[in-house]
Amino acid sequence: MTVENQDIEMEHVDEAEGGEKKVSETDSLVLSELRQNFLLLERAVSTIESRFTTRVLRTIASIRKRLTADILAQVIKDVYPKDSVDKSRLINYLGKDSGNMDLDVDDLAKDNLPILPEIDLYLYLLVMIYLLDKQEFEKGILLANETVAKIQSLNRRTLDQLSSRIYFYYARFYELTGNLAEIRPTLLAAQRTATLRHDDDSQATLLNLLLRNYFHYNLYDQADKLVSKTTFPETAVNNQQARYMYYLGRIKAIQLDYTVSHTHLLQAIRKAPQNTVTAGFQQAVYKLSIIVQLLMGEIPERSIFRQPVLKKPLVPYLHIVQAVRVGDLSKFQETLAKYNEVFRADKTYTLILRLRHNVIKTGIRMISLSYSRISLRDICLKLHLDSEKDAEYIVAKAIRDGVIDATIDHEKGFMKSKENVDIYSTNEPQYAFNQRIRFCLNLHNESVKAMRFPLNAHRKELASAEALRERERELAKEIAEGEMDEDDDVGEY
């Protein structure tokens, strides 16, 4: 073997040793963070402070990316006693053999030390997240069922935040396997229990999970009944509040209450975190909000479609907005046919179908502004309607609703638009200006009336000031006459 080959082999050995050292350092960092979280959970129990549990749950996102089966097995081995049933169960879910694990001397000292339920469920949660990332859904469902059963057997307020997170992943496993209907009774029972215990975290999470469950099967009536019979906790975190507002907006949109729906969707947009992690939620809310705005007769702002997170997913909805704004029914039908699968996947297809009437109304308004007189046949051709009778019916309805100001000649078959009267030649601007002036004057008068003071209060102040001045004059007079000497209060000196 030459010297060059030896040098090359030594370089590979050094790289391998350096790589192993790097991995071990990463594992040690994760282990130290997990041990620190155990201490925080102990402090949360001893001080009954939920903020320590909140700090622990915030680290899940960063720890999740570095979790491995070996790290979890090592932590489980360090925390649980030697003969713990939970220890062997969790290690088996990780695919490790609990019988071949090395035993330390500390295991003998841990035999009689019980583990806190908070730490126990935290480890269960970490293993559930690990199985979810590895897409081992069958194992995950079994572990989730055991974890939920363990939660239901406990009644500790220090477990509220952990319970809400566990219920979320419990429903997530069933959603990915297409079995959401199976867990609905469990979620309903857990929601009732959380309400009786005033567990706001679990209550908010379970309400959102139930609404998501109903929406998955298009059970909007049941979702509306659930909302009417329950109260969403005001102290819930912003993430849960944003989800709840989105679900309320979805229910109201289906029920044709577009104004209330738009209000809820705006609140969901404002409460949701504005980052790339929540891009999916932002896209879903904006898609529904755009359709609701169009159904209200409003055109969404163009700046929405220029945001980097929303630019590409909102392309089909931009074409819909353009078709509605111009009143082009053919373009609307082409867009609907082209992006049919996208709209069905977003569950906005039925709402978009309602926009057809809005497109027709906009087209009729544009025609009435462009032509003083036009035949019903030409209207039928421009709007791509089926027959002249349909055009006559639609124009008559638009006139009745006040969309256009025109008349129909049924015998000759044409629509005649009335001339646009100069509004400034009428008394309407003067009347509107008079109304505003009257409102301002009334507001001023009411403000003046509200600024009231106690009667004769200034006279009492003047009387007290005059009495003070009189007392000062008397003291000055006594000092001047020598009736009061400075050494009178000295006593026997």
pLDDT in tens, 226-236: 999 888 888 88
Q: Is the pLDDT of residue 222 over 80?
A: yes
**Out of 5-19, 58-72, 111-125, 149-163, least confident range:** 5-19
Predicted local distance difference test score (pLDDT) of residue 454: 64
Query: Does residue 380 contact residue 388 with C-beta atoms inside 8 Å?
Result: yes
Q: Which residue has the higher pLDDT, 296 or 376?
A: 296
* pLDDT at residue 74 is higher than 60: yes
Specify the pLDDT at position 492: 42
Average the pLDDT over each of 7-21, 120-134, 161-175, 281-295 and give the range with the smallest value. Answer: 7-21
Give the mean model confidence (pLDDT) for residues 27-45: 85
Examine the pLDDT at 347 and tell me if it is beyond 70. Answer: yes
pLDDT at 93 (0 to 100): 82
Q: Residue 487: pLDDT above 60?
A: no
Tens digit of pLDDT for each residue in 438-475? 989 988 888 887 776 666 666 666 677 777 788 788 88
pLDDT at position 178, please?
A: 84
Q: Which residue has the higher pLDDT, 16 or 310?
A: 310
pLDDT band at 324 (very low <50, low <70, confident <90, very high): confident
Q: Give the separation between CA 218 and CA 209, rounded to whole angstroms.
A: 14
Question: What is the token pair recorded at 332?
Answer: 């609307």
Contact 392, 374 (CB under 8 A): no
Kindly state the percentage of the chain with pLDDT values over 70.
83
Confidence class for position 493, pLDDT limits 50, 70, 90 = very low
When pLDDT is averaged across residues 238-255 and rounded to a whole number, the result is 90
Of the candidates 71, 81, 154, 169, which has an alpha carbon nearest to the alpha carbon of residue 118?
A: 154
The tokens 């201490």 sit on which residue?
39
* pLDDT over threshold 50, residue 67: yes
Mean pLDDT over residues 114-125, rounded?
Answer: 85
Mean pLDDT of the chain: 79
Task: Report residue 487: phi and psi, to 5°.
Answer: -95, 10
Answer yes or no: is pLDDT of 102 > 80.
Answer: no
Looking at residue 488, its pLDDT comes to 45
| Residue pair 227/248 in contact by the 8 Å Cβ criterion | yes
Range 67-71 average pLDDT: 84
Position 113 confidence tier, pLDDT thresholds 50, 70, 90: low
Q: What dihedral do alpha carbons 372, 378, 380, 383 form, nearest 10°?
A: -70
Q: What is the pTM of this model?
A: 0.71
Q: What is the pLDDT of residue 24?
A: 67
Convert the pLDDT of each residue in 404-419 to its tens digit: 777 777 777 777 777 6
Residue 294 has pLDDT above 80, yes or no: yes
The pLDDT tens digits of the residues spanning 247-275 come to: 999 999 998 888 889 999 999 988 888 87
pLDDT band at 401, cuts 50/70/90? low
**How confident is the model at residue 79, as a pLDDT?**
84
Residue 427 CA to residue 232 CA, distance in Å, equals 51
Residue 157 or 426, more confident: 157
SS3 of the chain: CCHHHHHHHHHHHHHHHHHHHHHHHHHHHHHHHHHHHHHHHHHHHHHCCHHHHHHHHHCHHHHHCCCCHHHHHHHHHHHCCCCCHHHHHHHHHCCCCHHHCCCCCHHHHCCCCCCCHHHHHHHHHHHHHHHHHCCCHHHHHHHHHHHHHHHHCCCCHHHHHHHHHHHHHHHHHHHHCCCHHHHHHHHHHHHHHHHHCCCHHHHHHHHHHHHHHHHHCCCHHHHHHHHHHCCCCCCCCHHHHHHHHHHHHHHHHHCCCHHHHHHHHHHHHHHCCCCCCCHHHHHHHHHHHHHHHHHCCCCCCHHHHHCCCCCCCCHHHHHHHHHHHHCCHHHHHHHHHHCHHHHHHHCCHHHHHCHHHHHHHHHHHHHHHHCCEEEHHHHHHHHCCCCHHHHHHHHHHHHHCCCCCEEEECCCCEEEECCCCCHHHCCHHHHHHHHHHHHHHHHHHHHHHHCCCCCCHHHHHHHHHHHHHHHHHHHHHHHHHCCCCCCCCCCCC
Q: Once rounded to an integer, what is the mean pLDDT over residues 33-43?
A: 86
**pLDDT (0 to 100) of residue 274:** 80
| Closest CA relative to residue 256, chosen from 227, 224, 287, 282 | 224
pLDDT at 155 over 50: yes
| Mean pLDDT score, 343-369 | 82
